[in-house]
């Protein structure tokens, strides 16, 4: 047997690995374990950071196993990941379903499989399986997003694990998969779809945020949405129909309606807000229908559809919010939006987290000197709220350094995605980037009170073997796929 050839191939593989990304990974996981030690260790009776009876010691054990897993993945032929992407995905779906059925109830969630003293959360590994399946689909010869039928399979790949995880009562983990919509956009999805999604989220927030304030006899949130619809009609018409400029006439009609309404209100004639808006919007739509028969039929239909869909969505927000979400989920959203304040109960975690971060100041209180941390004011501080420990003890400088490390890692992953020679490698890399962006943004936003508390871990920092192993597997598979560029040359 020619061992020299095997050695040359191994040396070539090791040389082609993106070691800068590996270095970033090592810095993040070690910084994470140190942060866990700081969050769980009393400064008076300190124990060794490597003591396996502590959270930090266990995390270092998970880190050691992660190194073994990661570097083992580098030795597997990259074709294995592509050829077995669908079987891996199917197996993970089966495991997710089994978890929903057989997993014990832990804090209201059936998301952990117990093997003796060890608990595993399959949802953390399903992210990698979903990314592989999506990459495999886009690498299929001739597949391209275009007609609406081409969206059925990719959306099914994304939504199937979402439904399985919802069955486990683990809503936070399920939301992560929606970040893969941005991958579809990168691969050719219409920008209008992404615009519609972002608009729906914005309208949802506006309606709930200002649901209790009234103006013209209607909730302020509904007033804002209806005003946005009217303005959007004018702007879209100016953009689509610049030659015939029907938007000018619509704008003049809005102005005249407003003047008449204000005049009637001034002399004591009450006009219901809904009646006013619906009358004006209906007249606008009638005008558009007349203009539609003259020019730009498709574009004007899109404008009319946007207006009607926005109004229907506005009325559905409260129905969905009150009937589809559980009371504790509703409270978390209301607290994040500032609709209610409950710093002693539902909003206690976030309030204490903000106090801890704010008390750190510019340079922090010093390692193991965080009073909020040491007195256990913030529950779950070594898991979902680990970032507030960094903010308190290391201050603005330390918190910014962590953000900078994640930014560099994500930008590096995007750079890796752009240099891939295959659709499989590119799509998988963008899936990894999207998942990292979602986790970092939502977790830190949750800790500082910008988004609702939904139980999203901070990659490499939050305590837990499942999360650490899941992100390690995801990242090192990407590094193996990227290393194959040099191994196989230009494909």
Mean pLDDT split into 10-residue runs, the chain, 491 residues: 53 79 94 89 70 84 92 90 94 92 78 79 92 93 83 92 87 86 87 79 80 75 81 70 58 70 65 74 72 65 78 81 75 71 67 83 83 73 86 90 95 94 93 95 87 85 90 95 69 41
Q: Would you state the pLDDT for residue 269?
A: 60
Q: By three-state DSSP, how is residue 310 classified?
A: helix
* Cβ atoms of residues 417 and 431 within 8 Å: no
229: CB partners within 8 A, 6+ apart: 281, 306, 307, 310, 311
For 274-287, b where at least 16 C-beta lie within 10 A, e where not — what string?
eebbeebbeebbeb
Q: Would you state the pLDDT for residue 3?
A: 43
Find tokens 């498709």 and name the residue. 298
0.85 surpassed by pTM: no
Q: Would you state the pLDDT for residue 137?
A: 93
Copy the structure tokens of residue 71: 């570097």
Cα-Cα-Cα-Cα dihedral sign, residues 200, 205, 208, 209: negative
Q: DSSP assignment of 405-428, as one string?
A: HHHHHHHHHHHHHHT-SSHHHHHH
Question: How many angstroms separate the CA atoms of 348 and 345, rounded?
Answer: 5
CA dihedral in degrees (317, 319, 321, 326; nearest 10)? -170
Q: Would you state the pLDDT for residue 230?
A: 78
Q: Would you state the pLDDT for residue 45?
A: 58
């Amino acid at each position: 047997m020619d061992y020299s050839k095997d050695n040359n191939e191994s040396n070539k593989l090791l040389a082609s690995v993106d070691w800068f990304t590996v270095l970033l990974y090592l810095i993040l996981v070690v910084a994470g374990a140190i942060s866990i030690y700081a969050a769980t260790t009393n400064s008076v009776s300190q124990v060794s950071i490597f003591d396996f009876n502590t959270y930090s010691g266990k995390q270092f054990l998970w880190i050691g196993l992660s190194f073994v897993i990661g570097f083992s993945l580098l030795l597997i032929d990259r074709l294995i990941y592509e050829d077995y992407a669908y079987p891996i995905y199917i197996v993970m779906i089966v495991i997710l379903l089994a978890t929903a059925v057989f997993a014990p109830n832990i804090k209201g969630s059936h998301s952990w499989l117990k093997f003796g003293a060890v608990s595993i959360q399959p949802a953390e590994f399903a992210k990698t399986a979903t990314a592989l399946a999506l990459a495999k689909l886009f690498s299929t010869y001739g597949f391209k997003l275009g007609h609406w039928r081409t969206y059925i399979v990719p959306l099914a790949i994304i939504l199937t694990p979402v439904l399985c995880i919802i069955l486990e009562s683990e809503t936070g983990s399920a939301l992560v998969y929606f970040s893969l919509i941005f991958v579809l956009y990168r691969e050719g999805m219409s920008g209008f779809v992404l615009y519609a999604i972002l608009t729906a989220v914005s309208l949802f927030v506006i309606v709930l945020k200002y649901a209790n304030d009234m103006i013209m006899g209607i909730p302020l949130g509904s007033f804002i949405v209806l005003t946005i619809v009217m303005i959007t009609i004018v702007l879209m018409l100016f953009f689509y129909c610049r030659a015939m400029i029907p938007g000018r006439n619509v704008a003049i009609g809005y102005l005249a309606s407003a003047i008449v309404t204000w005049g009637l209100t001034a002399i004591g004639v009450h006009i219901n807000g809904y009646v006013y808006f619906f009358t004006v919007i209906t007249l606008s739509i009638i005008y558009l229908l007349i203009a539609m028969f003259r020019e730009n039929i498709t574009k004007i239909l899109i404008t009319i559809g946007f207006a009607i869909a926005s109004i229907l969505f506005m009325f559905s927000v409260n129905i969905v919010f009150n009937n589809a979400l559980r009371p504790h989920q509703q409270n978390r959203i209301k607290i994040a939006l500032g609709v209610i304040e409950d710093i002693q109960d539902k909003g206690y975690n976030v309030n204490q987290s903000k106090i801890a971060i704010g008390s750190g100041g510019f340079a922090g209180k010093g390692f193991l000197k965080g009073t909020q941390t040491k007195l256990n004011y913030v529950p779950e501080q070594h898991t979902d709220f680990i970032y507030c420990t960094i903010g308190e003890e290391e201050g603005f400088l330390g918190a910014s350094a962590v953000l900078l490390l994640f930014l560099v890692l994500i930008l590096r992953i995007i750079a890796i995605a752009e240099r891939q020679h295959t659709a499989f490698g590119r799509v998988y890399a963008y899936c990894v980037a999207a998942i990292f962006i979602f986790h970092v943004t939502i977790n830190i936003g949750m800790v500082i009170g910008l988004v609702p508390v939904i139980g999203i871990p901070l990659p490499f920092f939050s305590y837990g073997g499942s999360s650490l192993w899941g992100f390690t597997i995801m990242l090192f598979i990407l590094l193996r796929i990227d290393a194959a560029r040099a191994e196989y040359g230009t494909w």
